[in-house]
Chain A
Amino acid sequence: MKSALIAVALATASAPVLAATPAELLSGYEAQARKAGAFDGASAPRGEQFFTSRHGAEWSCSSCHGSLPTAQGKHAKTGKAIRPLAPSANPERFTDTAKVEKWFRRNCNDVLGRTCTPAEKADVLAYLLKGRP
C-alpha cells in the first residue's frame, strides 16, 4: 500500500507540466463545435480529407507536414525539417493549448485564408490521433 502510494506520488511529481493532453484538446474542440451548430462528433476520415486538400489555394496542411503525419515533414518554402505532427510519433504535440491555437491561427490562414472552425480542428485532431508509427 505504502509503495503504491509512493509510486503514485513519484509519477505525479515527475510528470511534465502539461497544459493539456491531445484527448482533452479534442473533446474541447468537439464541445465548441457542438455549441456552434450541428456536429455529430469528430471524424478521422473527414480530418484526413481536410488535411490533404488544397481548399482552392496553393497549399494543403500536408504540403509542409507530409501526407503521413507520423513521419517528418518539410517546410514547403524553406525546406526545413518539421517533426511529426501525430502525438504517437512526437509526444510533444498537442500538449500546450496556446501553442496549438497559435499554429492553427497561422497555418489555417496560410492554407484556407481564414481561421479554422472548431469542427475542422476536431476532425484534424481525430485524424492525427489515429496515426500509429
Chain B
Amino acid sequence: MKRALLAVLAGIAALPAIADDLRLPPNPAYQAECGSCHVPYPPQLLPAQSWRQLMGRLDRHFGSDASLDATAHDEISRYLAANAGRRAAPAGPEPRITETRWFRKEHDELSASIWTSAAVKSAANCDACHTKAADGDYSKRTRRVPR
C-alpha cells in the first residue's frame, strides 16, 4: 500500500516535467541536419508513426527540400524512433506538432494573432518565446512572449 502511494506521488511529481523539460542527450546529426532550418523539435512531441511519415518524404518537407544522405537519414530515424512520444498522431500525410491536442491545450491562452506577429512569424518558431528551446528547455523560467 505504502509503495503504491509512493508510486502515485512520484507520478504526480513527474507531471510538470513532462510539460516543459524536453531535454535529451543531444544527437549531433539531428541538431545539424534538422536544427539548421528550425529548432530541433523534441522527438517526444510526436509518436514514432508521425516521425516515420515525415522522414519518408523529406524531399517535400513542408514545401522545402530537406533530403538527407542515407547515413544521416538512418541515424536520425533511429534517434527519433528511440525517443518518440506516445500521444495520438496528428492526422494527415504531414503531421505537425502544432496540430496535436497537446500543443493546442498548452497554448490555448494565447491570442491567435501572436503566431503571425513579426517577432514570432510562425508557430514553428518555438524559440521566439521559449528562449532555450534549442536545448529542450521549455520551462516558464526561460519563456519570454514578445509583445
Q: Which residues of A contact B (CB under 8 A)?
A: 74-75, 77-80, 102, 105-107, 109-110
* A contact residues around B110 at 8 Å (CB): none
Show 13 A/B contacts (Cβ-Cβ < 8 Å), sorted by A.
A74-B121, A75-B37, A77-B62, A77-B63, A77-B122, A78-B121, A80-B37, A80-B38, A80-B39, A80-B125, A109-B65, A110-B63, A110-B64
Whether B65 and A105, one on each chain, are in contact in the complex, defined by CB atoms closer than 8 angstroms, is yes
Residue in chain A with minimal CB distance to B33: A102
* B contact residues around A102 at 8 Å (CB): 69
Residue in chain B with minimal CB distance to A106: B65
Whether A79 and B128, one on each chain, are in contact in the complex, defined by CB atoms closer than 8 angstroms, is yes
In the assembly, what is the distance between CA of A80 and CA of B62, in Å? 15
B54 at the interface (CB under 8 A from A): no
* A contact residues around B125 at 8 Å (CB): 78-80
* B contact residues around A77 at 8 Å (CB): 37, 62-64, 122, 124
Whether B65 and A75, one on each chain, are in contact in the complex, defined by CB atoms closer than 8 angstroms, is no
In the assembly, what is the distance between CA of A105 and CA of B63, in Å? 15
In the assembly, what is the distance between CA of A105 and CA of B62, in Å? 17
List of 3 A-B pairs having minimum Cβ-Cβ separation, nearest first: A79-B121, A79-B125, A109-B65
Residue in chain A with minimal CB distance to B39: A80
Whether B64 and A79, one on each chain, are in contact in the complex, defined by CB atoms closer than 8 angstroms, is no
Which residue, A75, A77, A79, A105, has most C-beta atoms of chain B within 10 A?
A79
* A contact residues around B127 at 8 Å (CB): 80
